[in-house]
């Protein structure tokens, strides 16, 4: 399927239960769960409730092992190297509690990192008398070598651990983590990769990456239920990993003890979200992981092109899938982030992050299989209308559909109109009326056409104008 052919992907949109009238462009923060995955979770929940003791004491261990095996196949490692946790933040906290920092040690990060990650490592360093170094990276980024050299310019004899995102959160940049990990090994530094955005968006191969720790979430691009993630720990580090919660710390099935036992049983809880993760993997596999990546990157590239054309917005990285995947951050004209974020929701029911980062105001649309170009068009139009007119206004978009969004003078979204676009109407006419052929959609010289072509142009072009006015 062609990546930007919305018609070819339209059936996938119906596989989610998204709210009517909402344009959802924030999969990067909170990925909605497809119905097939929600159904699988519900079935697992019913299986647990049918006989909790049998399921939790006899069946759960082997079933979680199968989940780890499937995830390991996806991310290029053995399932034995993975512990199932709620999300990447939990995984990162486990690493912070397990790395033994000493007074004077340094943890190296960069200024593109997720705020919560910087916060937790700042706390870990404060408690140990260590220091968190946050190295600024260049913007815009020009090359992988530039990133690596700039980052490691801040590494020194006291540096004990490097923390770096695979895909950054505020700036949506795919960092060259293989080159970063390779340099870190040469310097004898441990590496912890923050990877919640990379799983499914990118082809991840943890054994080849050879990092020490990798924190991940499954509820974003992989389509797993909320509250599912994993922590990868290289075998050379597994003996030192400690859980954030202490419980029995042993297998319930009598198997040989493992470092993962501390994470399998942390008290009684509902395991159905984890057990539904294989269905999420299968769900994306039915689309094809490569096709998914091509489609969502093409949509992000379309957003890049559209914002550049309408608002002159600049990207932070070169135009290549090496630097951004299914989401992209783009510069907006100067201004405050929060009022625009609020206006996009209240006026247009658009969910998208507006990020204030290092003095820049960024918009970060993220795309999945439920996203279409009309969603990007609506976002671009809404931001442009906000920047130029505020309210009241009517925002018109002429695309596959002709849409009109109406905003009051108080900035309240009153509703809208969705009608077939001119091209869509023309396609319908020519496919269903044997004697009608495609015509150029240019304004006719008169309202009453004197030929079939003129009459079609009048109906399509002037009919659309009449509807708008």
Sign of the CA dihedral 458, 463, 464, 469?
positive
Residue 412: what pLDDT?
59
CATH 3.90.1150.10 residue ranges for the chain: 6-25+288-389
Residue 6: what pLDDT?
81
Q: Residue for token digits 């201004």? A: 335
Rounded CA gap, 32 and 38, in Å? 10
Active-site residues: which are they?
A: 377
Is residue 361 within 8 A of residue 333, CB to CB? The reply is yes
> Taking Cα atoms as reference points, which of 434, 465, 468 lies closest to residue 447?
465
- Joined together, the tokens standing for residue 177 give 């983590």
Residue 444: what pLDDT?
81
Q: What are phi and psi of 453, to 5 degrees?
A: -65, -50
Residue 391: what pLDDT?
64
Q: Which residues partner with 213 through β-bridges? A: 192, 233
Q: Residue for token digits 């916060």? A: 119
Residue pLDDT tens, the chain, 469 long: 567 788 888 889 999 999 998 999 999 999 999 999 999 999 999 999 999 999 998 999 999 999 999 999 999 999 999 999 999 999 999 999 999 999 999 999 999 999 999 999 999 999 999 999 999 999 999 999 999 999 999 999 999 999 999 999 999 999 999 999 999 999 999 999 999 999 999 999 999 999 999 999 999 999 999 999 999 999 999 999 988 777 776 665 666 677 777 777 777 889 999 999 999 999 999 999 999 999 999 999 999 999 999 999 999 999 999 999 999 999 999 999 999 999 999 989 999 999 999 999 999 999 999 999 999 999 999 999 888 777 677 878 777 788 777 776 655 567 778 888 878 877 777 778 767 777 777 788 787 877 787 777 877 777 777 777 7
Pairing of strands 330-331, 213-217: unpaired
> Taking Cα atoms as reference points, which of 69, 423, 80 lies closest to residue 278?
69
Is residue 114 within 8 A of residue 141, CB to CB? The reply is no
Rounded CA gap, 448 and 455, in Å? 7
Is residue 277 within 8 A of residue 218, CB to CB? The reply is yes
CATH 3.40.640.10 residue ranges for the chain: 36-283
Rounded CA gap, 219 and 227, in Å? 7
Q: What are phi and psi of 231, to 5 degrees?
A: -120, 120
Q: If phi over 0 gives left and psi between -120 and 50 gives alpha, with beta otherwise, what is residue 177? A: alpha
Residue 352: what pLDDT?
98
- Joined together, the tokens standing for residue 321 give 């899938």
Classified by CATH at the fold level, domain 6-25+288-389 comes out as 3.90.1150
| Rg of the chain taking only CA atoms, in angstroms | 25
CATH 3.40.50.300 for domain 36-283: no
- Joined together, the tokens standing for residue 82 give 């993975």
Q: What are phi and psi of 228, to 5 degrees?
A: -130, 135
Residue 396: what pLDDT?
80
Rounded CA gap, 357 and 329, in Å? 11
Instruction: List strands edge to edge, sheet with 330-331.
Output: 330-331, 360-363, 354-357
Residue 358: what pLDDT?
95
Query: Is the omega angle on the peptide bond into residue 140 within 30 degrees of 0, that is, cis?
Result: yes
With H, G, I as helix, E, B as strand and everything else as coil, classify residue 217: strand
């Amino acid at each position: 399927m062609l990546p930007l052919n919305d018609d070819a992907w339209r059936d996938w949109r119906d596989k989610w239960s998204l709210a009517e009238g909402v344009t959802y462009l924030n999969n990067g923060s909170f990925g909605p769960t497809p119905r097939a995955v929600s159904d699988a979770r519900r079935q697992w929940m019913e299986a647990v409730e049918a006989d909790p003791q049998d399921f939790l004491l006899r069946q759960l261990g082997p079933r979680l092992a199968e989940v780890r095996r499937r995830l390991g196949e996806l991310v290029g490692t053995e399932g034995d190297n993975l512990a199932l946790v709620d999300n990447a933040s939990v995984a990162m906290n486990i690493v912070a509690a397990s790395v033994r920092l000493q007074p004077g040690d340094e943890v190296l990060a960069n200024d593109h990192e997720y705020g919560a990650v910087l916060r937790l490592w700042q706390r870990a360093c404060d408690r140990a008398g260590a220091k968190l170094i946050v190295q600024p990276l260049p913007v815009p980024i020009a090359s992988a070598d530039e990133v690596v050299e700039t980052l490691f310019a801040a590494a020194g004899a006291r540096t004990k651990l490097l923390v770096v995102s695979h895909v950054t959160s505020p700036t949506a940049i795919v960092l060259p983590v293989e080159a970063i990990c390779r340099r870190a090994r040469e310097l004898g530094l441990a590496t912890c990769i923050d990877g919640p955005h990379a799983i499914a968006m990118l082809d991840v191969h943890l054994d080849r990456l050879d990092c020490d720790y990798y924190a991940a979430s499954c509820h974003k691009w992989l389509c797993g239920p909320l509250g599912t993630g994993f922590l990868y720990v290289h075998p050379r580090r597994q003996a030192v990993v400690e859980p954030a919660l202490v419980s029995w710390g042993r297998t319930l099935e009598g198997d040989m003890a493992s470092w993962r036992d501390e994470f399998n049983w942390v008290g009684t809880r509902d395991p159905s979200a984890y057990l539904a993760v294989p269905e999420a993997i299968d769900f994306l596999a039915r689309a094809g992981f490569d096709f998914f990546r091509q489609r969502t990157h093409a949509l992000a590239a379309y957003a890049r092109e559209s914002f550049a054309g309408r608002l002159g917005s600049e990207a932070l990285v070169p135009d290549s899938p090496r630097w951004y995947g299914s989401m992209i951050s783009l510069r907006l004209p100067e201004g405050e982030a929060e009022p625009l974020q609020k206006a996009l929701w209240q006026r247009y029911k658009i969910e998208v992050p507006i990020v204030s980062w290092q003095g820049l105001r960024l918009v970060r649309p993220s795309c999945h299989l439920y996203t279409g170009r009309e969603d990007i068009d609506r976002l671009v139009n809404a931001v442009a209308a906000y920047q130029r007119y505020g309210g009241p206004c009517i925002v018109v978009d002429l695309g596959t559909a002709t849409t009109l969004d109406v905003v009051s003078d108080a900035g309240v979204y009153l509703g809208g109109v969705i009608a077939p676009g001119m091209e869509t109407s023309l396609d319908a006419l020519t496919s269903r009326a044997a004697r009608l052929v495609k015509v150029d959609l240019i304004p006719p010289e008169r309202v009453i056409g004197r030929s079939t072509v003129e009459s079609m142009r009048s109906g399509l072009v002037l009919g659309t104008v009449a509807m708008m006015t």
